[in-house]
Structure 1
Amino acid sequence: MDAAAVLPGFAAVPPGVLTGTPVATVVELADPLDPQTVLTRLRSAAAAPGPLALFLAGQLQMDRRQHLPHLALARSTPTTLRYTGLPWHWLAAELAVRRAGTTTVVADLVADAELWERLGAAQGLLSLGPGIRLYGRVAPAPRRSGAPVTPEYLRHFATAWRTGARPPLALLHAEAAGAGGSGEAVFLTQEVTYGPSQSSSQPVQVLGEVAAVVPASVPASVPAPAPAHVPAPVPEPQPEHGRAVAVAAPVDVRPLAPAAQEPKASEPDPHPAILAAARAGRHGEAVAVAVAWEQVALRRYGARSPEAVHWMEVRADLARLAEEPVRSCELWIAVARARLGLSQGPQDPEVEGAVDRAHHQWERIEDPARARELGNALVALRRRVPGRRAGALAALQRRMA
């Protein structure tokens, strides 16, 4: 995919047009190298209260070991994809925290052979979860080396906006899908709906539909208890400003379960179903459900609550099960800091356990740069929380050296 070919067209579009707001901030990542850098940018954008528009141009590849989709970055190869690409379920997890109906993703992608083969048989394979509006084109990667695929689908959007036209995104999508030059491709639509899904006459393959919209997406198959006497969440103000992120890069996707209403007190514990999904290899689904419950805890109890920290621990362990030591270590460090912020002492078993788990995951990190970065944070934490294993800090410092 010649991803950068579409950037000049988007640069000529007023930022507010990208988000449909009077004012917008645009962050452009062209040929990004590090998945953590991309993740940080996405997390920052996702935290903004206004509308978020994410434009993706690049290449989807399947991780050979776990068969999970990744967005290949500038240094990605088939053998290094797990460490150099952005897992698609990371993207789904970051967007899951946003208020339903405020996020739009427009993607122009090529897929490697394995992903392309699965794409035709698996409905919902590229779903980003409830509450996210998705339009896109996925084309097969060229079978032989030669001219890359050009992002004509995204270019159609940019060209229309540059002329001053402001048609609905669904219409732009239909026009781009019907335009010539697309070749062999699958076109994606995932609409945010508030009732039964309506059939579409567009020449597209519908890969995901949302039957209900709630602030946090909780699959119907994974219910959970809700404590009694919980105050209702405060309604969020209507945004006036928007944020747009353009990611151009040279991705392995699991379907997310459908949305359901917020859990009730009589519903069972969600943890067994989350664990079962992770052990079955449905890591994206497991993470999305955990993120959804974390958002429920954040709304009910606040960011500094033990309930919210617990779900951060769940996500840290899910990263371990997905064999993502960088992500797991990062989250366990955050858990330890959060528990210390809750006035739990350095010798509290929960604090010690979080630091020990962060240390264990750190030892499995193969990327020297990320190991050094997280190692510095871990050393500072170990000095405060030495743990019950004698010499843990000294061993950490030796390995850092």
Structure 2
Amino acid sequence: MPGAASAGAASTGTAVLLAAAPAGRGRAIDAASVLPVLAAVPPGVLTGTATASVVELADPLDPQTVLTRLRAAAASPGPLVVFLAGQLHLDKRQFLPHLALARTTTATLRYTALPWHWLAGELGRRPAGATTVVADLAADPDVWQRLTAAPDLLHLGPGTHLYGRVTQAPRRGEPATPDYLRAWAELWRTGARPPLPAMHAEAAVRASAARAAAPEQYLLAPAPVVAPAAPAPAAAQDPHPTILAAAMAGRHGEAAAVAAAWESEALRRHGPRSAEAVHWTEVRADLARLAGEPARSCELWLAAAESRLALRQPVDDPDVEAAVDRAHHQWERIDDRARAGAMAPALVALRERVPGRRPGALDALRRRMG
């Protein structure tokens, strides 16, 4: 299981299946409904190891009990994977997210819910790259607002891979269902064993299709993990069709998040000065174009061109020329004149080095600046 099992397939792993939500009207997600599907997956598949033990926590009552079980699991020497379904609420005093448990109410949140930073603290003590969290969460309006403003709100530390989605909790009616986590289990039960970024991408698409009318979802993708070099993941699935399908369907945030996850994996495995990392920068640049964000697309194409030149590709290399041409093309579509003006010097400097095959491109750029 790339990203979770750096110790190799011969080690023993631990999987924690944690599903929690308040009883009664406060339940925004039917978290426990995903447990039977996950439990039907062979334990070793859950962790990517030859053997594994499974800890199951279904609608636990007490945060200290959950902490004790998590601490024991985190102390295991092998890979640890935490599958987490539940709902998030914001502590109005400290403005910190909490995972609601079975007895949690708005009034008792600070005493009956699991603080997210407790989870981060336990997992953060483990070796870098040995821990993966796969989360399917519903967020109350306060958490949702803070998450969209501060994407690192649910960060679990530099050594933990985090994949998942967060949806807005439904205001009324039936609780949401953990379709994202269910998709992981169903993919594994078909016999598929793709690398984690591919699992994340496919599960996100399946979850969106399952609840087309659901509130907007926010995808969680891992930051690069500081870990020893690992073998490249086996090829079980090409992520590009999935990413393109999401973008063409108008789910631009989803497409960008999946591409960012693959870029993070490329950075971790191959480093920032690698052809693999540059490729994913270019994918993100094209996604920004499809999303109608020419300034962002231009910035990314400029970065890709600079990276290719840093890799000692010649100025007349078709990939270098294409990156500069696309940066130029997107720059011409920026409506914000101030932002276009701020980006122009970098584009001119590149055009002077990489004139391209279109006659007069540099002169046209200078005229437009004037």
1:104 aligns to what?
Answer: 132
Is 1:80 paired with 2:108?
A: yes
Q: Which has the higher contact order (CA 8 A, sep 6+)?
A: 1
Q: RMSD of the alignment, in Å? A: 2.4
Q: Residue 278 of structure 1 aligns with which residue? A: none
Aligned residue number for residue 289 of structure 1: none
3-state DSSP class of the match of 1:139? strand
Distance 2:113 2:150 in 1: 22
Q: Secondary structure at the match of 1:44?
A: helix
- Read off the aligned partner of 1:185 and give its amino acid letter: Q
1:42 is matched with: 70
How far did residue 181 of structure 1 move? 2.6
Secondary structure of 1:190 counterpart: coil
Query: What 5-or-longer segments of structure 2 have no aligned partner?
Result: 1-28, 228-239, 244-253, 269-370
Aligned pairs (5 A) from 1:1-400: 1-144=29-172, 146-179=173-206, 180-182=209-211, 183=214, 184-194=216-226, 203-205=255-257
Offset of residue 189 of structure 1: 0.2
The structure with the greater share of residues assigned to helix is 2
Matches of 1:61 and 1:102 in 2, distance apart?
28
Shift, 1:136, TM fit: 0.4
Higher radius of gyration, 1 or 2? 2
Give a deviation string over 1:289-315, Cα, whole Å, max 9, x none. Answer: xxxxxxxxxxxxxxxxxxxxxxxxxxx
1:230 matched residue in structure 2: none
Is the CA contact (8 Å cut-off) linking 1:34 and 1:73 kept in structure 2?
Answer: yes
- The number of residue pairs the alignment matches comes to 208
CA spacing shift, 1:34–1:193, aligned 2, 3 Å: closer
Question: Conserved in 2, the CA contact under 8 Å of 1:51 and 1:103?
Answer: yes
Aligned-residue offset at 1:191: 3.9
Quote how far apart the aligned CAs of 1:98 are. Answer: 0.2
% identical equivalent positions: 63
CA distance in 1, matches of 2:124, 2:225: 16
Alignment correspondent of 2:330: none
Displacement, 1:67?
Answer: 1.2
Q: Distance in 2 between matches of 1:211 and 1:21?
A: 22
Cα drift, residue 123 of structure 1 = 2.5
The CA distance in 2 between the partners of 1:39 and 1:190, in whole Å, is 23
Q: Is the 8 A contact 2:159 2:226 kept in 1?
A: no
8 Å CA contact 2:84–2:134 kept in 1: the answer is yes
TM-score, normalising length from structure 1?
Answer: 0.49
Q: Is contact 1:64-1:78 (8 Å) kept? A: no
Deviation at 1:177, TM superposition (A): 1.5
Pick closer, same or farther for the CA change 1:63–1:150 going to 2, 3 Å. same
The runs of at least 4 consecutive aligned structure 1 residues that moved more than 4 Å come to: 206-213
C-alpha separation between the residues in 2 aligned to 1:210 and 1:82?
Answer: 36
- The alpha carbon displacement at 1:175 in A equals 0.8
Letter in structure 1 aligned against 2:200: H
CA contact (8 A) 2:158 2:223 kept: no
> 1:210 Cα deviation (Å)?
10
Give the C-alpha shift of residue 86 in structure 1.
0.4
Q: Does the 8 Å contact 2:135/2:165 carry over to 1?
A: yes
1:173-223 superposed Cα distances (whole Å, 9 cap, x missing partner): 10112221343211110143459xxxx96615469979999xxxxxxxxxx
Give the gaps of 5 or more residues in structure 1. 214-401
Distance 1:212 1:47, change over 3 A: farther
CA distance in 1, matches of 2:226, 2:265: 8
- For residues 365-384 of structure 1, the C-alpha deviation after alignment (integer angstroms, 9 at most, x for no partner) is xxxxxxxxxxxxxxxxxxxx
1:221: which partner in 2?
A: none
Q: What's the offset of the Cα at 1:32?
A: 0.2
